[in-house]
Structure 1
Amino acid sequence: MPKREGQGRTRTVFRWLLAAIYLIAGVAHIRSPAGFLAITPDWVPFPEEVIFFTGVAEIIGAVGLLVPPKLVPGIRYGAGIGLALYALCVYPANINHAVNNIAIGGTSASWLYHAPRLAFQPVFIWWALIAGGVITWPFGKK
């Protein structure tokens, strides 16, 4: 399939935007863990440490998406896989938040927030894979 005009730019914008989202989220996990701890399911061991390390993982993944492949071969690919797995692993916390209507900062979110958030999680997984160059759909060949 021939390369479509703007495809490289679109992928770059997707990659930078996802990196920014994960960088901000990672810093939030480390600086303000209370909200994340509130939605962490009870079965998660060492929740404070898990929240801290999820923040570190988000930051590392974000940086990995931005490092030029010529500098560190395979880093974007690894970051894409890592962030996709991360998005899959935190899904239970999002489900817990929604199903148990857990208030964060004294405020409960309605299903107008939870339903799109839960539905968007597979998109985050796809987004990480596309940003890391693991998959190319729907942008065609690399």
Structure 2
Amino acid sequence: MKPLFVLLITFLLSLLISWLFIKSLDYILAGNIAMCVMLLMTASGHFMFSEGMTMMLPDFIPFKSEVVFLTGILEICAAIALLIPSLRYPISILLIIFFVCLLPANIQAALKHIDYQNTTYNGPGIRYLWFRIPLQFFFIAWVWFFNIKPW
């Protein structure tokens, strides 16, 4: 839920700042700033809650701790790249693939009731997926809309 709020609030603030200082609404820039801030926030979780995030990874994935740290670094790099217009398209393709690849970890977390922030098995369970899966598709649509959709 927090990433969604961060994304939407940052988008609205970016539009407001754009309108106040440039006297126009730059939707593309605001959309990319919002996704950048959201990715930086979620990337921080890879380092603050690394043990819990490791629990989310399916058993077939080796080097779980390394994968968690690497994906955190990748999120930071992608966030920064979204602010560089010439990199937006290729990074957006990679981000969409990344978001799809996250689904197994979210399914694993739901099936095992993982609470990654507290490193416990007291998470919300399957009902978590009723929010998380549509949210994941919303993030994919966001990236597509602001960077891949032809304007």
Is the structural similarity TM-score above 0.5? yes
Deviations 1:7-65 (A, max 9, x none): 96333322111111111111221343112111111111111111111001100110010
Residue from 62, 77, 83 that aligns with 1:66: 83
- Aligned partners of 1:66 and 1:76 also within 8 Å: yes
Sort the Cα spacing of 1:8 and 1:77 in 2 relative to 1 into closer, same or farther, 3 A: farther
Higher RCO (CA-CA < 8 Å; seq separation 6+): 1
- Aligned residues: CA RMSD: 2.2
Match of 2:137 among 114, 119, 122: 122
> Does the CA-based 8 Å contact 2:111-2:125 persist in structure 1?
no
**Residue aligned with 2:32, SS:** helix
User: Which residue, out of 93, 112, 133, partners 1:81?
Assistant: 93
Matched positions, count: 126
- What residue in structure 2 maps to residue 139 of structure 1? none
Normalising by structure 2, report the TM-score: 0.73
List gaps (5 residues or longer) in structure 2.
Answer: 1-18
How far apart, in 2, do the equivalents of 1:103 and 1:59 lie? 23
Identity rate, percent = 28
Match of 2:149 in 1: 135
Larger helix fraction of residues: 2
TM-score (norm 1): 0.77
CA distance in 1, matches of 2:25, 2:51: 39
